[in-house]
Amino acid sequence: MLLALACSAAFLAGLVDAVAGGGGLIQLPALLVLFPDAPVPALLGTNKVASVMGTAAALSRYVRNGVRIPWRAVGPAAVAAFIGSFAGARLASHLPAEWMRPVVVVLLAGVAAFTFLRKEFGAVAGEAHPASVPGVLLMGAALGAYDGFFGPGTGSFLLFGFIALLGLDFLGASASSKVVNVATNLAAILAFAWAGQIWWATALPMAICNIAGSQVGSRLALKKGAPFVRRLFLAVVLVLLGRMTWEVVG
């Protein structure tokens, strides 16, 4: 029964994450609720295995359907994110993550306000300036470290950053964020596996369900386009902002 519930959460997480990021809002809390006595690092590692499969499947669908990904900028950002995520995941075993919450709340509030007020933001793809590439590298390294160490909202921050720095529309930014997310998840999996902190018997069935959800989500995004991704992105950011604010106040 517990595994079935975890797999259901993985399907829904894959669907949401394929479109706008934020699958961790669903999948990781579900694991924490279903297995309250389990070591948290083991749940984090299990969550990463399930997540990376769905993210890779969504990326594959976007690429097959010709969604624009500026690989010259996104590829190096993924490498920087891989290194940052591995370091962050190793650090997660030694330092408390609570101090990150207030910072994330402020950042999420800014992202939500900016996206809501700027109706044209991410509506149409523009041309990226070469000077934006170093910014994308820095973003990859910083968000990679954040994802390995703490994680909530990484996909949404990446999506926002690719629009702001590379002039992509919401659909292209969603696809590009998947490249970096695959890298960060793989690095974190290596770190958690190194420490023996992955429940493979739970992670693999969840991964299959996450893939199924990601196929549904990416199909919806391709069919409905950037406006749909923008609406779901705002919804995910607002829910994440509410959750993080509640945790900070609590």
Residue-wise DSSP of 100-168: HHHHHHHHHHHHHHHHHH-TTTTTS--PPPTTHHHHHHHHHHHHHHHHHHT-TTHHHHHHHHHHHHH--
Neighbouring C-beta atoms of residue 197, cutoff 10 Å: 21
Measured distance CA(181)–CA(187) in Å, rounded: 10
Q: Is a pLDDT exceeding 60 seen at residue 124? A: no
Tell me the pLDDT of the chain averaged across its residues: 83
pTM exceeds 0.85: no
Measured distance CA(69)–CA(24) in Å, rounded: 23
- Of 175, 136, 177, 173, nearest to 155 by C-alpha is 177
Q: Which residue has the tokens 């800014």?
A: 110
Q: Mean of the pLDDT values across residues 84-94?
A: 78
Give residue 79's pLDDT band: very low, low, confident or very high (50, 70, 90): very high
Measured distance CA(101)–CA(168) in Å, rounded: 28
Q: Is a pLDDT exceeding 90 seen at residue 127? A: no
